Amino acid sequence: MLFVKTIVQPSKIDGQGLFALTRIPAGTKLCDWTTSSQGIQDVPHLTLDYVKKYGWLDKGTRKLRVAIDDTRFMNHSYKPNTYTGADMCQYALRDIEPGDEITEDYSKFDADFVEYAHTLR
């Protein structure tokens, strides 16, 4: 769930991206994630496509996490402006200015990252 004002718009990184509408100071908590008690094998067939696109297998808990709001538009960067804390919340790594795309490093939390890393710009 997002705690800062953002907008989804076209991204130079990939398709759509999440952009800041207001200044987000370094250290600000941007969002929190909800953990499923289900493994990927337990997800109903009809929701599996959504889960595969917007979800990931948490490296630490080995539980499935799924973005249910606009956080699903946070694109990957090897030089992100956010980081995932030990509490699995997303924080601003440095000041994020209005109009900046909000990015994260998928490799830090997605257990399946190596399988699709080659597809990212």
Number of domains forming the structure of the chain: 1
Query: 35: domain CATH number?
Result: 2.170.270.10
16 found inside a domain:
yes
Res 112: pLDDT:
79
Q: Which domain holds residue 105?
A: 6-119
pTM (two decimals): 0.77
- Examine residue 21 and state whether it is found in any structural domain, yes or no: yes
Q: Which tens digit of pLDDT belongs to each residue from 27-67?
A: 999 987 655 555 556 656 666 677 777 777 777 777 777 77
Structural domain includes residue 1: no
Asked if residues 88 and 33 have their Cβ atoms less than 8 Å apart, the reply is: yes
C-alpha to C-alpha distance for 74 and 71, rounded to whole angstroms: 6
Residue 97 is predicted with a pLDDT of 98
